[in-house]
Amino acid sequence: MNQSNLAGRRVLVTGGTGFLGSFVVEGLRARGVTDIATPRSGDYDLVDRAACRRLLADTKPDLVLHLAARVGGIGANRENPGRFLFDNAMMGLHLLEESRLAGIAKVVAVGTICAYPKFAPIPFREDDLWNGYPEETNAPYGIAKKLLLVQSQAYRDQYGMNSVVLFPVNLYGPRDNFDLQTSHVIPAMIRKCVVAREQGRAEVSLWGDGSPTREFLYAEDAAEGILLASERYDSSDPVNLGSGEEIAIRDLAALIAQATRFTGRFVWDPSQPNGQPRRRLDVTRAKERFGFTARTSFPEGVRKTVAYFEEQHRKGQL
């Protein structure tokens, strides 16, 4: 078991039963943490301030890891801009305020790559977060999560509150959301390719024109970054979490086709949005300040994600 200053702490993980949260909880247990609260939204609606207050009173945490979010891919963002803005903003505002009032020792909150300006210089550096408006299809979500950073810095300045805000790039991996209505690009492509292969179809339709680039971070690696920041980082300066490598969506499709054994062709639909033109992070700060470096290579991570989906699909669970 790793020696960790988190051992013996009482930790609250919002979103702890979700995709990223499940890996964070496993990482906490590996560090010797035994008192972990993972509330469900049906029991505590974090959009409601009174529910946040009740949650903290019931769990009495020393450390809060705020991972809960109302989130989805381009389609879900386009269909729910108001809900994504309101719910994510209120969750962060209420949870940090109630954590301050409850005297919580430390809060680590997770923002989003969508907070960056649409045309931020490549690679995205934390200092560029305010140099423009986010890409339009996910701006309401991105701005709501960026509010966490403003709140963290304001509360540190006025109240001396110890809170950290991390900005992970697009996550992927086993346990991801593979629902085509709400999923992100990697799980959506995997599902489409596997189903097309099974049905003997010769082509798969994909959104956009394949030209944008994206950077991806394996969810288990992202969880490790969050835990390292929990152990070693005490500043409200924003920190990127990523791999520092980008891939064009067209090349991503080819990689997933190979991993899923889909031998047909892709038909691109340029009437659908591409999203942000490019995404690649400068990951220097995370390495320098708390020693985080992504460990899982992208081809290896894609293989593991495909294997997970195919196993669940065979069982009829996906």
Model confidence pLDDT, tens digit, residues 100-117: 999 999 999 999 999 999
For the chain, percent of residues with pLDDT exceeding 90: 92
DSSP labels, 266-307? EEEETTS---SS---B--HHHHHHH-----S-HHHHHHHHHH
pLDDT confidence of 98, banded at 50, 70, 90?
A: very high
Three-state secondary-structure class, residue 177: coil
Q: What is the DSSP letter of 133?
A: P
What does the pLDDT average to over 138-145?
94
Report the 10 Å Cβ neighbour count for 192. 21
What does the pLDDT average to over 245-270?
97
pLDDT, residue 72, reads: 74
* Mean pLDDT (the chain, rounded): 95
Q: Annotated catalytic residue: which of 44, 116, 141, 233? A: 141
Model confidence pLDDT, tens digit, residues 70-92: 887 777 778 999 999 999 999 99
pLDDT, residue 1, reads: 39
CATH superfamily of 10-170+219-244+280-295: NAD(P)-binding Rossmann-like Domain (3.40.50.720)
The yes-or-no verdict on residue 275 having pLDDT over 90 is no
Give the pairing type, strands 10-14 and 163-168.
unpaired
This prediction has a pTM of 0.95
The yes-or-no verdict on residue 306 having pLDDT over 60 is yes
141 part of the active site = yes
User: Which stretches of the chain are DSSP H helices?
Assistant: 19-30, 49-59, 74-79, 81-102, 139-159, 185-199, 219-232, 249-260, 284-290, 298-314
Range scoring the smallest mean pLDDT among 32-36, 72-76, 108-112, 298-302: 72-76
Gap between the Cα atoms of 160 and 59, Å rounded:
23
pLDDT, residue 4, reads: 87
Taking alpha carbons only, the member of 32, 26, 3, 31 closest to residue 13 is 26
pLDDT, residue 3, reads: 63
Which residues lie closer than 8 Å to 58 by C-beta, 6 or more apart? Answer: none
Gap between the Cα atoms of 102 and 16, Å rounded:
21
Gap between the Cα atoms of 113 and 170, Å rounded:
7
